[in-house]
Amino acid sequence: MPQPFSLDRGLTAVAGAALACLVVGACAQDLHRVRDLDPTGDGATPDARSGDSESPPSPTDAGVAPHLPPDAGARDAAAPPEGAPDVAIPDAGLFDGSCAAEARPCGPGSHGVQPRPCSAEARWEACRLPHVEGVSAGDNHSCGLRGDGTVICWGADWYGQSSPAEGVYTQVSVGREHACGRRADGAVRCWGRDEDQYGEWVGQATPADGVFEQVSAGERHTCGLRGGGRAACWGADRHGQATPPDGRFIQLSAGYTHTCALRVDGTPVCWGQGTRGQTDAPAESLVLLDAGRHHTCGLREDGSAACWGAADRGADTEPVVDETFVHVSAGDGFTCGVRLDGQLRCWGPDRAATGRSAPPPGPFSEVSAGQFHSCGRRQDGTFACWGNDNYGEATPAP
């Protein structure tokens, strides 16, 4: 029976737990969120993300009656071969010290430790992620997970994106105009806009049925991990961002019009729009990753950051050197990470002089880079945001 999840207990231990796993070079740690979005949803027309502000929708736009396209619904990756175990991941939680010991035999060699052979199933079982995501910044709204498991959101609420569904959650992830959360029973609930920029129903806020271990909201699509590490996505799929490949994964992140995930052996794989190189994942082992607008970043076992893709308007996606992180988040042309000491470091241009790349002092447990603002959760459980605040997206609700 799943153990109760305590975010208050968990996030104060995030940095130490992640470091413990990084030091032994053994398992993957997901401390993130998401912030995963794209200006048009299909890359066809410019909008707020390209620098133009988007006005609040008219009652007519907001009230467009959804219709179901022929290919609507969740797109699941193919199930594992017959006979392969479909191991259920326990309820969300944090490493309790056993993760490193269990995963070490299956993990890549690190610090002079040679890995021992093991099956993919054994490694997946040992290194699966405990998907902690307590704060998430999107375009014009943000959401956070309180210590009691309830979700609170702030910022624009034109489509109900800042009015979360009631319940107890273990994770929350914000898209552009929608958000999703994983409940304690594994069910996914979403709220906010279900249409694209043309008012056509695409279903990003209509989750698939079943039990999930993680959920990640993109710009106009959403993806999740089912039991056994199989991926399922729903919503806009013009670029293939909602059509996951076969296989098992230990973590995934939905970006603007692309999605990335970590396979059982830690290697990243991406799908969807790759015109800026955002799907050109490196052939190396990572312990977590996060998909932004046109770039993606991850962490290696030693805590160094690895990024690929191109940021907008000449922004530099190259990670800072000589820094060790326990968490990283890719936003709209910039990236932020949580260092070992809990302080934040952001790199990339400060578009529109919003201050999105100038975080306050910590210590923090996690960070989420959005479009023109960012948010983080401090180690005392409180939220802090910085950058653009036109709609209150950088003013956390009490």
**The pLDDT value given to residue 398:** 81
Q: Residues in the chain with pLDDT < 50?
A: 1-71, 81-120, 123-124, 129-131, 312-314
Domains by residue range for the chain, with CATH: 7-42+73-387 (2.130.10.30)
Do 77 and 4 touch, CB atoms closer than 8 A?
no
Do 337 and 328 touch, CB atoms closer than 8 A?
yes
Do 221 and 235 touch, CB atoms closer than 8 A?
yes
Gap between the Cα atoms of 398 and 396, Å rounded: 6
Distances in Å between the alpha carbon of 227 and those of 88, 93, 186, 213, 384? 5, 15, 10, 6, 33
Q: Which long-range contacts (CB under 8 A, 24 or more apart) does 48-53 make?
A: 48/139, 48/140, 48/371, 49/139, 49/256, 49/293, 49/332, 49/371, 50/312, 51/351, 51/352, 53/390
State percent of the chain over pLDDT 70: 65
pLDDT digits (tens, 9 = 90+) for 26-68: 333 332 332 333 333 333 333 333 333 333 443 333 333 333 3
**The pLDDT value given to residue 318:** 74
**The pLDDT value given to residue 100:** 35
The helix (run of H) or strand (run of E) holding residue 197 is none
CA triple 139-134-96, angle to 5 deg: 150
Q: Which of 389, 371, 382, 5 is nearest to 186 (CA)?
A: 5
**The pLDDT value given to residue 98:** 32
